Structure 1
Amino acid sequence: MRYELTDLRLFMAIAQAKNLSTGAAAVHITPSSASYRLKNLEQALGTPMFVRNARGMELTPAGESVLAHVRELFEGVERMHEDVGRFTLGLKGHVRLTANSSALNGFINPSLGRFLVLNPYVDADIEERQSEAIPAAVLAREADIGIFAGATDVAGLDVYRYAVDQLVVAVPADHPLASESEIKFGAVLDFDFVCMSRSSSNYLFLRDMAQKAGRQVRVRLHTHSFEAVLSFVAMGVGVALVPRSVIASLPGTAGIAMLALVEPWAVRELNLAVRADARLPTFTTAFMQFLLDDPRVAATRGA
């Protein structure tokens, strides 16, 4: 069998993206070169790794098996680099984190920025996903650390209480609901919404909660960030469902009223998970502890 680590890294990138061109871009090679390398890898292993269909490139059963081994292999390579790096000063490595949009924007990003400044030889890959998908992604080695809302029944994880957040309704200051201090979710659904992008975990959660209530979200605008969402709310475009932590992290919310949402799911318990059997490199463990020890985050756990 003749193949290189580059071939395996490419294979992993294509499996993650479910697209050859996107996977090729992730490892900085051309699509034609990626196609050639993938063909050689499949010939070396003696079986197809992917099935091409309308959804993109789906792994075959053999591909799923190879992917698990490849992820484990690169974890070993990462540990090897870390062991060598101990002969120099500071932490070195690459950490992968996946989280929902509320955790990313309300808590993680400020902690991440400070950690990277303090550790200039550590790189990070951050991905947003819906909370329900995150524990399985960590177990499948698609991320080193996952942060998600609610509990999980996925076995094989070590789970730590990370933060407590609350979803609130943001409305323009002159909106008919602005005088209310709290409100039921069903009453908010009578109005137009300003939402995060269609792929955002915040929007997908809002859509799912509305469907469970037998309603549809009246979306007037999808935009790219919570800051943009609140800006459009202040202009009177619509109302929004936003995490209280995000509001606290933004420079100002003039022209906006915040309403407590009287729903049990509005209080969001955020958990941090890693694989129970993972031999985490020192830099990953240090990053995890940095996230948990952030004073602003830790303070919410006692709220």
Structure 2
Amino acid sequence: MRFDLVDLQLFVAVAETRSITAGAARMHLALASASERIKRLEVALGVALLKRGRRGVELTSAGESLLDHARIVLHNVDALRGDLAAFASGARASVHLLANTSGISEYLPKALAAFLAEHPRISIDVEERESGEIARAIASGAADLGLAAEHALPEGIERIPFSEDRLVLVVPRQDELAGRRQVDFREVVSRDFVGLVTSSALHAHVSGHAAKLGARLRFRARLNNFDAIGQMVAAGIGVAVMPEVAGRRCARSMKIAVVRIRDSWADRRLAICARSFKALARPAQQLVEHLRKGARQLTSTSARPRP
């Protein structure tokens, strides 16, 4: 059974747009040519891939299966091209890593810097995504590795525990909540907030849970890092939700207090994830091992009693 990469690219385009016409346009093919390619693909496979209707097309069960495999094949081809191109520039390979806001801001910079220093011929392409998006990207083969909240990962994705990632409320030290150990998020949704920019994964996560309570958070300011947010909170501009590790770090130098959020969605654990760790290319496996060692160090550090 032989597959043409153009046919696979076309099929993915048709599946994503739910239209042969739109898929053909995306691939810069004539409609008749695109339609003939899809028909030949169905004949070669011996199954119907699409259900055609007046409003477009729907995937059959076989079509859904092909879509998953086609995305993986095309991702691997892109990775192959990238790795071979990297040889010309002196690099050996690259790893595509997705991480949520906490991972990118608090855990990965130091870990990745150490890894890249040890492996000068490996590069890492890091993107920030919400944990649910990371799970979908890993499942579809659109990325090599992820660092995401474990609760968002389905059973089919392999994972290695990395660290706790509890979300907390940060308030000015003089605030009435500063003396509380924990608070229900419902109690504070009507407050003024300081948060990350709207494109951040954490912003989407927190705003989504506010919406479930029937509230829309009111942001006085949006910034791009937790230190700037902490300074705004200390000045009394509003309260903020951030990872506990960031909140306690900021509290050491700023006049803010950290209050735990009682809601279950705030009690998160980060995990390194992949479709299959054994199937990863060697550079990605090396990165996994590096992050695994870092996770053990984080665990031993967090196990020490706080002063």
Question: How does the TM-score come out when normalised to structure 2?
Answer: 0.71
Gaps of 5+ in 2: 17-25, 38-57
Given that residues 170 and 247 in structure 2 are in contact (C-alpha distance below 8 angstroms), is that contact kept between their aligned partners in structure 1?
no
2:111 paired with 1:111: yes
Instruction: Summarize the Cα distance change of 1:152–1:183 in structure 2 as closer, same or farther, 3 Å threshold.
Output: closer
Deviation at 1:111, TM superposition (A): 0.8
Which residue pairs with 2:54 in the alignment?
none
Alpha-carbon spacing, 1:106–1:76, altered in 2? closer, same or farther (3 Å): same
* Alignment-mate amino acid for residue 214 of structure 1: G
CA contact (8 A) 2:162 2:272 kept: yes
Displacement after TM superposition at 1:249 (Å): 5.2
Question: Where does residue 71 of structure 1 map in the other structure?
Answer: 75
Q: Cα offset for 1:180?
A: 2.2
- In the alignment, which residue of structure 2 is the partner of 1:260? 260
Letter in 2 for 1:197: V
SS at match of 1:74: helix
Conservation of the 8 A alpha-carbon contact between 2:251 and 2:258: no
Tell me how many residue pairs correspond in the alignment: 262
Provide the C-alpha distance between the structure 1 equivalents of 2:75 and 2:119, rounded to a whole number of angstroms: 24
- Corresponding position of 2:40: none
Residues 137, 298 of structure 1: alpha-carbon distance in 2 compared, 3 angstrom cutoff: same
Alpha-carbon offset, residue 76 of structure 1: 4.7
Note the C-alpha offset of 1:300.
6.8
1:46-65 matches, within 5 Å, as 46-47=33-34
Q: 1:288 aligns to what?
A: 288
Residue identity over aligned pairs, in percent, reads: 25
| 2:148 is the counterpart of 1:148 | yes
Q: How does 1:8-47 map to 2 (within 5 A)?
A: 39=28, 42=29, 46-47=33-34
Q: Is the 8 A contact 1:162 1:301 kept in 2?
A: no
1:299 is matched with which residue? 300
1:33 corresponds to: none
SS of alignment partner, residue 292 of structure 1: helix
Taking the TM superposition and a 5 Å limit, the aligned residue runs for 1:260-279 are 260-276=260-276, 279=279
The alpha-carbon distance between structure 1 residues 302 and 141, as it changes in their structure 2 partners (threshold 3 A), is: farther
What displacement does 1:276 show? Answer: 2.2
Aligned to 2:41: none
Distance verdict in 2 for CA 1:140–1:249, change over 3 Å: farther
| C-alpha displacement of 1:215 | 2.1
State the match for 2:176 in structure 1.
176
SS for the counterpart of 1:151 is: helix
Q: Deviations over 1:90-120 (max 9, x none)?
A: 9931111111101222222221121112222
The letter of the residue matching 1:215 is A
Paired letter, 1:299 = S
CA distance in 2: counterparts of 1:140 and 1:278, whole angstroms: 17
**For residues 248 and 97 of structure 1, do their structure 2 counterparts lie closer, same or farther at Cα, with a shift above 3 Å needed?**
farther
Q: Deviations over 1:209-243 (max 9, x none)?
A: 11222222121111111122112111211100010
AA at the equivalent of 1:47: A
Q: Is the 8 A contact 2:190 2:215 kept in 1?
A: no
Residue 197 of structure 1 contacts residue 222 of structure 1 at CA under 8 Å; is this kept in 2? yes
Partner in structure 2 of residue 27 of structure 1: none
1:207 is aligned to 2:217: no
User: 2:127 is matched with which residue?
Assistant: 127
State the alpha-carbon separation in 2 of the partners of residues 233 and 296 from structure 1. Answer: 31
Contact 1:136 1:154 in 2 (8 A): no
Farther off after superposition, 212-221 or 137-146? 212-221
Given that 1:165 and 1:300 are in contact with CA atoms closer than 8 Å, whether structure 2 keeps it comes out as no
SS in 1 for 2:141: coil
Q: Which has the higher contact order (CA 8 A, sep 6+)?
A: 1
Partner SS for 2:215: coil
Task: Indicate the structure (1 or 2) with the bigger Cα radius of gyration.
Answer: 2
Shift of 1:128: 1.0
2:186 is the alignment partner of 1:186: yes
Give the distance between the partners of 1:138 and 1:257, measured in 2 at CA: 37
SS at match of 1:94: strand
Contact 1:99 1:129 in 2 (8 A): yes
Is residue 144–residue 284 contact of structure 1 (8 Å, CA) maintained in 2? yes
The equivalences for 1:224-235 within 5 A come to 224-235=224-235
Distance 1:224-1:186 versus aligned 2 partners, 3 A rule: same
SS state at 2:142 partner: coil
For residues 144 and 250 of structure 1, the distance between their equivalents in structure 2, rounded to whole angstroms, comes to: 32
Offset at residue 134 of structure 1 (A): 1.1
Cα offset, 1:160, TM superposition: 1.5
